């Protein structure tokens, strides 16, 4: 027998919203059946039209608001509804902090079955705008000219824009200059349907502290019309430019960067600081897009590690060494492991750049490298993990449980996988003591968190 739902497609119903989804839609429940509605906020009452009904949940469209949330505001961005890059501009920043703290609490309880862990209020930004130090802008054409912006939600249609309110203003300015220079000098935009044309993306990286700028032109082929003129004009007009790079991506793919990189002008890296630590950033480097909040996040991780200078620390997803180098300032020895070889090369370069010699980096899977270290007598007092959104590999979690470091610091960018992994660590003998959410991405639903776990005695 097919199930009869309490709501049907094309129904108009009155609802009250009780929550937000992970992508910022309002959640209403009709006899327990969740209905997701974009643009709605918790506490609001509205008339909605049901537009899709699935087995476990449905989708609706906001028709009329009867009662508005006290945290509702007018989104300042003129293309907010079309763009999809942000989800929460219609929610005040105080409201965003409440929603993100609730998101962390809810998944810890629902997925992790963790009832007694102390979740602190979210550490937010004083100015929650203009924070991103990296822009990646897809390029298209309209009426014979180059346009650049963001893909419209759930499409590959490019929305042209002059400003993004979560990008540093310098990035917007540089993108406009490069787009204008390339368009005037005969550069055609890449067409993904015909696989013709050249310019796919303009990427800009900007050092928040150093104010150094890198521009990357991502093209289908290495041929660039009027190459010398384009290079000279970009160099002349962009203040602070230190690196101009051509990246060739000839594949039919949604992946932005290709395998071939040429330095058109200047250096292969720019530099920036997080706190006192200097980082070399190449066109391919992973580097946090909000360095101001990264410092907040890492300071909390250091606080939870509670180092006195005698400890051996393992950083199990070390990337380019960002957390490792902060830890090395306080620990006796730090070991970092990362599966991406280029990231380890960056990590070694960053350690040398800062004169930090009590770190050792290795390429490989953490769950394979760490046992090898253990066999050689490396016993971690503190183990730090900062995994990708999918969370820790289960084999790594079992390695941690077997090694029994007295303290684990878990840095997470996904509360759901964090909760899942904490449950495994709790069952393996650890106690999650406290959780500090940190807002790395204002105006979006993303929230990071740092957790302190201690070995139960």
The catalytic residues are: 413
List the structure tokens of 34. 């969740």
How many CB atoms within 10 Å of residue 400?
28
CA angle 123, 128, 130 (to 5 degrees): 135
The Cα–Cα gap between 127 and 298 comes to: 19
End-to-end alpha-carbon separation of the chain, Å?
Answer: 53
List the structure tokens of 235. 């160099």
The Cα–Cα gap between 179 and 161 comes to: 11
Pairing of strands 269-274, 12-20: unpaired
CA-based radius of gyration for the chain = 24
The Cα–Cα gap between 27 and 48 comes to: 12
80: helix, coil or strand?
helix
CB 227 within 8 A of CB 234: no
SS (H, E, C) 225-294: CCHHHHHHHHHHHCCCEEEEEEEECCCCCCCCCCCEEEEEEECCEEEEEECCEEEEEECCCCCCCCHHHH
Alpha carbons within 13 angstroms on the beta-carbon side of residue 43 total 9
Q: Strand pairing partners for 62?
A: 48
CB 216 within 8 A of CB 203: yes
Counting runs of H as helices and runs of E as strands, what totals does the chain give?
Answer: 10, 22
């Amino acid at each position: 027998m097919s199930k009869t739902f309490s709501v049907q497609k094309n129904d108009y119903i009155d609802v009250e919203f009780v929550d937000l989804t992970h992508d910022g839609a309002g959640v209403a429940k009709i006899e327990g059946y969740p209905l997701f509605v974009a643009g709605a906020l918790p506490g609001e009452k509205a008339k909605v039209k049901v537009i899709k009904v699935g087995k476990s949940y449905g989708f609706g469209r906001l028709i009329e608001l009867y009662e508005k949330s006290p945290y509702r505001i007018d989104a300042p961005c003129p293309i907010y509804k079309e763009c999809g890059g942000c989800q929460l501009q219609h929610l005040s920043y105080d409201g965003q902090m409440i929603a993100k703290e609730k998101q962390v609490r809810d998944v810890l309880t629902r997925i992790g079955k963790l009832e007694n862990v102390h979740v602190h209020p979210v550490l937010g930004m004083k100015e929650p705008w203009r924070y991103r130090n990296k822009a990646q802008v897809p390029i298209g054409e309209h009426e014979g000219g180059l346009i650049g912006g963001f893909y419209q939600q759930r499409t590959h249609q490019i929305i042209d824009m002059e400003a993004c309110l979560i990008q540093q203003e310098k990035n917007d300015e540089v993108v406009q200059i490069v787009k204008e220079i390339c368009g005037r000098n005969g550069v055609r935009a890449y067409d993904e349907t015909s696989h013709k044309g050249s310019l796919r993306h303009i990427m800009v990286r900007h050092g928040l502290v150093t104010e150094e700028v890198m521009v990357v032109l991502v093209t289908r082929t290495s041929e660039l019309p009027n190459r010398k003129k384009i290079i000279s004009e970009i160099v002349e007009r962009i203040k602070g430019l230190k690196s101009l790079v051509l990246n060739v991506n000839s594949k039919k793919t949604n992946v932005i960067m290709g395998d071939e990189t040429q330095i058109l002008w200047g250096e292969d890296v720019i530099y920036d600081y997080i706190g006192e630590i200097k980082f070399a950033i190449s066109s391919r480097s992973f580097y946090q897009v909000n360095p101001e909040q990264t410092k907040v996040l890492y300071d909390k991780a250091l606080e939870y590690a509670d180092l006195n200078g005698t400890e051996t620390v393992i950083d199990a997803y070390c990337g380019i060494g960002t957390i490792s180098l902060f830890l090395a300032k306080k620990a006796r020895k730090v070991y970092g492991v990362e599966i991406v070889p280029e990231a380890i090369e960056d990590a070694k370069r960053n350690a040398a750049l800062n004169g930090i010699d009590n770190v050792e980096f290795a390429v490989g899977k953490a769950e394979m490298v760490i046992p090898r270290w253990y066999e050689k007598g490396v016993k971690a007092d503190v183990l730090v993990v900062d995994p990708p959104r999918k969370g820790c590999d289960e084999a790594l979690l079992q390695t941690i449980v077997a090694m029994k470091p007295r303290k684990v610091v878990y840095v997470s960018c996904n509360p759901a996988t964090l909760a899942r992994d904490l449950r495994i660590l709790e069952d393996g003998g650890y106690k999650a003591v406290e959780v500090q959410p940190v807002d790395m991405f204002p105006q979006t639903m993303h929230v990071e968190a740092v957790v302190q776990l201690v070995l139960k005695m």
